[in-house]
């Protein structure tokens, strides 16, 4: 077989494995949407060890207002731990059972970026194991170390600075060495993360027409909600097609789109009055409160259902992760309208307030090729709009084909220099984008 599976129950065993310099792909909770875990044998060339880090003992401690995460800690457990101390992590993914350190390695982003920005800004320091199993510490207070081609790389990166993630890593601070590089330069073992106070929140949802027919109200909400960042923690969309994947008792509306707002409870009256006062195309009769538990159940239920449906159909995930500037958000919706005419089932959901949505085809196996062709056209437009093609879920294996037009000699030079320094034995995810693009 090309692949060998190995699980580590402690850091000592992991260190011993690293010292062997065996080519390995490291994973934890298998929640990545850009790694086809059920098809790894076909996707990855061997010999290669598929290394499971999910059994390494979890540890959490508080350091003032920061939390220190070590080992296999998931977001749900961290949330409960911090809540007991009156604190909260500012941003987190939809899938609460995902492991935190893996999320930092992949993209360091998630929900609530609307209020708090990319989680990258909340990382104080990181520890990681290098190719010899030696642990090092990185600080967000220090600049990224000098590397061949770095100045040109950072200059070309500058127009992506306002996005959650760019087509390639943001090498500005020392901690960026391990953030967004998907385990290609080392293994994160510990992170110190800023937290915020645990505040009560109130959830609203608005029922809207289907975006394919009329997105006037959608764009009106998008424009208005920008004035309430901070008081509004998140602004999320589930379209009617997404809602249809939920169980009957979890569905909202009657074949309508839904936009959710998560609002600080102490700001609720102000936001409710002022925001609705700006909206001309949303009736107060179509605005409702719902519980936090219901919101999280519905929001998390859709991507899980999409994944399960794709698995049942025996196809790879066929979804986008594009973020564009506000000036091009209408253009993005127009393009998604064109995609919806292909004759393949689809749905649209995601971080609406950030102009960051996930368009998913739900193809039969025989439809996959034409869906891929449509996505190639989309990414060509995102490049013209200077948007980010993969703002949240990373590149992994499934997105490498689409990332290539965004990568130039400048980025390749830096990738090569970093891999030579930090992965001289080519043991870290040898089929990752830093090597293949």
CA distances from 233 to 23, 95, 121, 201, 420 (A): 41, 18, 16, 9, 41
CA distances from 71 to 138, 234, 270, 324 (A): 17, 28, 42, 34
Is residue 437 situated within a structural domain? no
One domain, residues 174 and 285: no
pLDDT at position 146 over 90: yes
The pLDDT of residue 95 is 84
Is residue 399 situated within a structural domain? no
Domain count, the chain: 3
One domain, residues 221 and 131: no
Is residue 349 situated within a structural domain? yes
The pLDDT of residue 155 is 96
One domain, residues 8 and 111: no
For residue 234, the domain's CATH number is 3.40.462.10
One domain, residues 124 and 217: no
Sheet holding 48-52, edge to edge: 3-7, 48-52, 24-27
Neighbours of 293 (CB within 10 A): 9
- Per-residue pLDDT of 132-143, as tens digits, reads 999 999 999 999
What is the Cα–Cα distance from 384 to 143, expressed in whole angstroms?
30
CA distances from 267 to 89, 116, 285, 287 (A): 20, 16, 21, 17
Poorest-confidence range of 196-200, 277-281, 365-369, 413-417? 365-369
Span 258-263, mean pLDDT?
97
The pLDDT of residue 1 is 58
Span 268-287, mean pLDDT?
95
One domain, residues 377 and 290: yes
pLDDT at position 306 over 90: no
User: If you ran DSSP here, which 8-state letter would residue 64 be given?
Assistant: T
pLDDT at position 317 over 80: no
pTM for the full predicted model = 0.93
Mean of the per-residue pLDDT values of the chain = 94
Residue pair 263/232 in contact (Cβ under 8 Å)? The answer is yes
Residue pair 413/421 in contact (Cβ under 8 Å)? The answer is no
One domain, residues 235 and 287: yes
User: Angle at CA 43, nearest 5°, toward 38 and 44?
Assistant: 110
Residue pair 204/287 in contact (Cβ under 8 Å)? The answer is yes
Residue 76's pLDDT band (cuts 50, 70, 90): very high
One domain, residues 103 and 180: yes
- Picking from 298, 299, 395, 303, the residue whose alpha carbon sits closest to that of residue 358 is 303
- DSSP of 192-230, one letter per residue? EEEEEE---EEEEEEEE--TTT--HHHHHHHHHHGGGBT
Residue 379's pLDDT band (cuts 50, 70, 90): very high
Span 265-286, mean pLDDT?
95
Q: What percent of the chain is modeled with pLDDT above 70?
A: 99
The pLDDT of residue 247 is 87
- Picking from 364, 245, 345, the residue whose alpha carbon sits closest to that of residue 305 is 245
Range of the domain at 280: 201-384
- Per-residue pLDDT of 5-18, as tens digits, reads 999 999 999 999 99
Span 57-83, mean pLDDT?
97
One domain, residues 193 and 207: no
Span 71-82, mean pLDDT?
96
Is residue 404 situated within a structural domain? no
One domain, residues 220 and 367: yes
For residue 186, the domain's CATH number is 3.30.465.10
- Picking from 223, 213, 352, 204, the residue whose alpha carbon sits closest to that of residue 286 is 204
One domain, residues 328 and 374: yes
């Amino acid at each position: 077989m090309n692949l060998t599976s190995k699980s580590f129950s402690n850091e000592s065993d992991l260190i011993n494995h690293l010292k062997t310099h065996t080519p390995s792909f490291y994973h934890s909770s298998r929640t990545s949407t850009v790694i086809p875990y059920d098809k790894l044998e076909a996707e990855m060339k061997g010999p290669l060890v598929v290394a499971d880090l999910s059994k390494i003992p979890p540890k959490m401690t508080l350091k003032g207002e920061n939390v220190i995460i070590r080992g296999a800690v998931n977001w749900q457990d961290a949330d409960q731990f911090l809540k007991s101390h009156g604190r909260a992590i500012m941003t987190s993914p939809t899938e609460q059972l995902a492991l935190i350190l893996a999320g930092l390695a992949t993209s360091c982003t998630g929900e609530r970026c609307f209020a708090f920005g990319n989680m990258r800004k909340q990382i104080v320091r990181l520890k990681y194991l290098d190719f010899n199993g030696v642990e090092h510490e990185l600080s967000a207070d220090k600049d990224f170390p000098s590397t061949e081609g770095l100045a040109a790389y950072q200059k070309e990166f500058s127009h992506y600075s306002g996005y959650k993630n760019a087509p390639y890593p943001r090498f500005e601070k020392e901690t960026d060495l391990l953030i967004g590089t998907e385990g290609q330069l080392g293994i994160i073992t510990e992170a110190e993360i800023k937290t915020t106070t645990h505040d009560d929140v109130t959830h609203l949802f608005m029922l809207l027409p289907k975006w394919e027919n009329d997105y006037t109200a959608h764009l009106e909400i998008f424009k208005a909600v920008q004035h309430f960042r901070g008081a509004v923690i998140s602004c999320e969309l589930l379209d009617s097609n997404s809602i249809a994947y939920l169980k009957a008792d979890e569905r909202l509306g009657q074949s309508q789109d839904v936009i959710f707002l998560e609002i600080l409870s102490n700001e609720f009256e102000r936001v409710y009055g002022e925001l609705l006062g700006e909206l001309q195309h949303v009736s107060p009769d179509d605005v409702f409160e719902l519980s936090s538990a219901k919101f999280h159940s519905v929001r998390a239920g859709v991507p899980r259902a999409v994944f399960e449906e794709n698995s049942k159909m025996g196809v790879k995930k066929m979804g986008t992760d594009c973020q564009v500037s506000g000036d091009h958000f209408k253009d993005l919706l127009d393009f998604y309208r064109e995609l919806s005419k292909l004759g393949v089932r689809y749905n649209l959901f995601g971080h609406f307030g950030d102009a960051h949505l996930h368009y998913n085809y739900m193809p039969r196996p025989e439809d996959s090729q034409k869906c891929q062709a449509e996505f190639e056209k989309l990414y060509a437009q995102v490049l013209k709009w200077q948007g980010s093609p993969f703002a949240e879920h990373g590149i992994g294996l499934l997105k490498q084909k689409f990332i290539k037009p965004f990568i130039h000699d400048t980025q390749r030079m830096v990738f090569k220099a970093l891999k030579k320094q930090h992965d001289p034995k080519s043991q870290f995810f040898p089929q990752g984008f830093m090597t293949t693009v």
